[in-house]
Structure 1
């Protein structure tokens, strides 16, 4: 009996470890894609590859680990958003607002970011390989917090 319980427990534990869990709230993802308004939404880990979010309202959204590869965030307001570990490679961020955001570990490789705001953003371990960043505090050393912990 104990052996059967131990085997069952072990198998259940292994299954839980191998099944990836979707952390994002599917209703929030749907809301964002339909309305471009998702203030305070849980979009952590969401796959938003090539999403067109022009002028989107993502203030205070949880975008931890989100996949925003080739996403169009032109004019989007991400004030106070948590983008820790997000992948924004080849994303378009012109005229976006990144004020007070957490950009720890964000991949901005090949992204285009002109005239974006990033006041008081926490920028740590970001990847900027081949990114085009102009007239943005990230590129000119403006009023941002860089923590190289």
Structure 2
């Protein structure tokens, strides 16, 4: 995908799409359905993923620094090694998500549902977890 200041994909249906390594920096993906999509190593810096459906998506090694994932559905998503530094995940659903070795430095997880998430080796320095549901979160092997 060509470099652009932004890509408007609002409300798009990208179910199970193969977007491996895609350059989606600054993309507008509000309400997009990316459930089951392969976004391995995708570039999503500063992307707007408000209320996006990323259920079961593979975001291994993805760059989501300063991305806006407010109210996004990331249930069962694989975010192993993802960079979420400064990302806004307020109210996001991350039930059963895999966040092994993910970098959540200064991420906003206010009110997020992390029930049963696997966060072994995740970096949480400066992360805001006010009101987050953390029942059953796995932090160690």
TM range (shorter): 0.7 to 0.9
TM-score using structure 2 length: 0.76
What RMSD, in angstroms, separates the aligned Cα atoms of the two structures?
Answer: 2.3
Residue number among 88, 99, 103 corresponding to 1:127 in the alignment? 103
Residue number among 137, 146, 149 corresponding to 2:113 in the alignment? 137
Distance 1:113 1:132, change over 3 A: same
Residue number among 97, 100, 124 corresponding to 2:76 in the alignment? 100
SS at match of 1:123: coil
Q: Which residue of 2 aligns with 1:47?
A: 23
How far has the Cα of 1:78 moved from its partner? 0.2
Distance 1:146 1:45, change over 3 A: farther
Residue number among 62, 74, 77 corresponding to 2:50 in the alignment? 74
How far has the Cα of 1:137 moved from its partner? 2.9
Kept after mapping to 2: 8 A contact 1:122/1:146: no
How far has the Cα of 1:132 moved from its partner? 1.6
Kept after mapping to 1: 8 A contact 2:111/2:133: no
The answer on 1:60 being equivalent to 2:52 is no
TM-score using structure 1 length: 0.72
Q: Distance between the aligned counterparts of 1:125 and 1:135, measured in 2?
A: 22
Q: Which residue of 2 aligns with 1:116?
A: 92
Greater per-residue helix proportion: 1
| Structure 1 unmatched runs, 5+ | 1-23, 27-31
| Structure 2 unmatched runs, 5+ | 3-7, 115-128
Bigger Cα Rg: 1
Greater per-residue strand proportion: 1
The answer on 1:86 being equivalent to 2:65 is no
**Moved >6 Å (runs of 4+):** none
